Chain A
Amino acid sequence: MEGIRSSTRSRDLLRKIKEFTLSILEALSEGRSPLIFIQSFRTYCTNLDSICSCRSNKPSGHEILTFQKESHVHRIDVLLRVLLIVQQLLQENKHASKRDIYYMHPLIFSDQSVVDRAINDICILLQCSRHNLNVVSVGNGLVMGWLRFFEAGRKFDCINSPNTVRMGEWPIQFLCLLRMLKVTNKYLVSAALYILVVEKESVFQRLENDKFCSKNRCIVITGRGYPGVPTRRFLRLLMDKLSLPVYCLVDCDPYGFDILATYRFGSMQMAYDAKFLRVPQIQWLGAFPSDSENYDLPKQCLLPLTIEDKRKTEAMLQRCYLHQEVPDWRSELELMLQRGTKFEIEALSVHSLSFLSEVYIPSKIQEIKSICQV
């Protein structure tokens, strides 16, 4: 998908938009309601009895939008409005954010999620990814470490960029915002040994403070909570181009686990594009429920799971991919539920501020490496 030149792709999408419009006009001129087929995709199901096809990248079904239901007509209305905007963006080779689009008809759209769904519908209809529509979102993630890349004519040097130096005396660790538009292979340079994905910005800052990247020759990325599309695309790109091991460090709670699952399997909302966004190679570094004993976490650092936490955990345990692909992850999640406690990564700092970067992460990576060697 990345290989296709953008102008060719734009032309292709514009052709599809015209075909779609003609199909509507044809139906109308024959006195029929247009039938708009929207395939539905999912990253998982909860049907554990039979072998599902959630991992096949194939649609799990489809919806047909017609003029018969009011909810459908409203959805078609929003879809057409967004499609008109997309057509203009593609023709003029301009870019807009989802938020820009929302503000073009805020009263009709009423909520950002309505626009998001229309964009997803259009991607499914035209069989493309969101950025192909020239609809972009501003990156929310952060990256630092042994990496240099060029994007939209600008150089992002995560190692040597003077304007991103945060810690004056350590010119190797740097921070730059992920701004993802078009990153191609020849503009990406790295000498890192692995990529570490962390859930939270606070942990990212801790590692930056501890000069983790320079000491360990790695790249550290955070999506700051649930990762957005640019962060995941960027990580996927690094994966595809650099073929480095990827480790993921999240809180030992249901949300941390869900974030980990989002990196690995993709989100339900963007399920139609999951094959371009997920990172199946990602390995769970921690924190595991058993870490509380293995690393002598004091009792007061363990928080009880709330009712909401338990409900979420139970629901996640039903996901088919955990059964089929990572039963060991699922066992850890079950263990969390059994113990009824959770803890944050920062709790490991109870021993010392640099415990995370000096002891915990290196020991965990060593552990995974030794398992791999066996």
Chain B
Amino acid sequence: MDISSVQKLCIHLISSAVQRCRLSEDLCRLSVVLKSSPPIIRVSISDTGTGSCLEEFQDLKCNREGIGTEKWGISDNKIYHYHLNLRGSVSARRLTRLPSIPKNDAKFSGTEMLILKIPSVAAELLIERGDASGLQCENVFLPNECSPSNFSSSNVERLKSGLEEYVLKHRNSLNNKCDSCFCSRGKLKISSGVACSMESHRSPGLIVEAVIAISELSESLCFRSSGNKTEVLHFKDFSPSSVSIASLNALTSIDWRSYGLTLVSAVDQVDHALIEWENLPPYLHIDMVIHCYHKQYPTPCSTIQILVITYPGKYKYQPDRHLIRKGVKLALDDLKEKHTGLLLSAHAVKICSYAPDLASSIAGIILSSNDLKFRSKCSSLLELSQSQEIGKQTVEDRIKEKIISVIETNDRKPEKIKEAAPFLFEDDRLQDLDPADLYLEEHEGGDDVFSFPD
């Protein structure tokens, strides 16, 4: 593994620690201690998970320029403490950010860690500043801070609650949920999809979990760095991962138009993919996370191998784009299913634009009829009270509502069901006809064009 920045190294170390905790299947404590004694900042990561071995770190290559480690030792003792000392130049830069460090650090530990929430792990962040004040702050992250997730919840449920928390905290730039943006629950809509590949002699059986969160921040005053571009976080085997080509392919090959979205680009930003949309309303924000893992991802009995995972060469370990796409599409379909009007396809939006006209004509037919019995029957079908005089607008609005709801329901059905039925008996008349005949037929009935004045 090539480590090119302090942040990445920390993430790597922390996620390794989380893995150990996860595999212990017992209550664990994970500590990240930042000790500041200018010009050096010391990051210490410790956990009470299962034991690790030295091989874990043998493959870890540190880019000297990026990190500039002076020395860092591994004390392979029983409490598994790893220390990382950073050289002055880099630490100085980190030190300048100190006033906001509680947040920033929550971001780097929280961003990635809390999304994969493991209920049995309590994480803490300790910052010791070696300046005159001797300030020490402590921050313990509890996994069930925002929404309760218990020991029995599935991986995808935990991923979901993790992303939810991440979004509510503005991509973890806040310590707590942003109350001004998410004052009501309806502003955040979140769904997940799980796609599995069959276990076979060629493939070990992979699982792709995708979680998508859509937030509507109508009058948000909060600053968000990436505008309304979408960050797609990637995890592999319960650790943050880089963006695979398969994943980028999957993201670009999804028919976003059927969800009313127009993709401009999906680019690899190393630790996440960044999707740019066309004409996405400024108040709409989409966040996504994709987690791919092996169906039989190492269980506690094989703890020693976990972090140096090797799969037999015959296994195609990378999930292909089809599986990733399936997972993302399932999540999108789930969102569409649960929230009326959300992610309406471009096609459905177009059809909905006819609703006012259709409603106006139908209302016209009802209200201009001189048959009172017919009118009252219509009113009752539209669930309008018959006692008072009903205005055209009321009738029109009610019909429009119903038409739009039908179109939205239709849009949620899978393509196949939608297409099949109505065209079983489609007429082939026009194919039979000579085009020249059709042209003439047009003129045949159009006798008014040359009509005489009355």
Q: Could you tell me which A residues sit within 8 Å of B by CB distance?
A: 14, 17-18, 21-22, 24-29, 31-33, 35, 40, 42, 45-47, 60-64, 66-68, 70, 73-74, 76-77, 80-81, 83-84, 87-88, 91, 97-99, 108, 112-113, 116, 137-140, 177, 224, 226-230, 258, 262, 267-270, 308, 311-312, 315-316, 318
Contacts and interface: CB of A to CB of B under 8 A. Distances in A.
A70 B348 CA distance: 9
Interface centre among A63, A230, A311, by most chain B C-beta atoms within 10 angstroms, is A63
A229 B383 CA distance: 44
A77 B377 CA distance: 23
Given A22-B377, A73-B354, A230 B429 contact: no
A229 B361 contact: no
B410 A67 contact: yes
B54 to A, nearest CB: 63
Contacts of A227: 444
Contact of B422 (A35, A73, A81): A35
Interface stretch (B37-45, B125-133, B232-240, B401-409): B401-409
B350 interface: yes
B442 A40 contact: no
B448 A81 contact: no
23 contacts: A25-B382, A33-B407, A42-B429, A42-B432, A60-B429, A62-B425, A62-B427, A64-B422, A66-B422, A76-B354, A76-B358, A80-B362, A137-B448, A139-B447, A177-B452, A226-B440, A226-B443, A226-B444, A228-B445, A268-B433, A270-B445, A312-B437, A318-B434
B178 to A, nearest CB: 37
Interface in B360-381: 361-362, 364-366, 368-371, 374, 377-378, 381
Contacts of B347: 70
Given A22-B378, A70-B350, A113-B442, A312 B434 contact: yes
Contact of B368 (A25, A33, A84): A84
Contacts of B429: 40, 42, 60-61
Interface string B332-370: 000000000000000100110010011001101110111
A46 B405 CA distance: 43
Contacts of A33: 406-407, 410
A229 B447 CA distance: 8
B452 A77 contact: no
Given A33-B407, A68-B351, A269-B445, 7 more contacts: A25-B381, A28-B402, A60-B427, A67-B351, A70-B351, A77-B357, A81-B361
Interface in B373-400: 374, 377-378, 381-383, 399
Interface residues of B, number: 57
Nearest to A111: B442
Contacts of A80: 358, 361-362, 365
A269 B383 contact: no
B137 interface: no
Query: Ordered nearest first, which 7 A-B pairs have the shortest CB separation?
Result: A228-B447, A315-B434, A80-B361, A61-B427, A138-B451, A28-B402, A269-B441
Contacts of B443: 226
B179 interface: no
A62 to B, nearest CB: 6
A137 B427 contact: no
Interface in B406-442: 406-407, 409-410, 418, 422-423, 425-429, 432-434, 436-438, 440-442
A73 B406 contact: no
A77 B446 CA distance: 21
A81 to B, nearest CB: 5
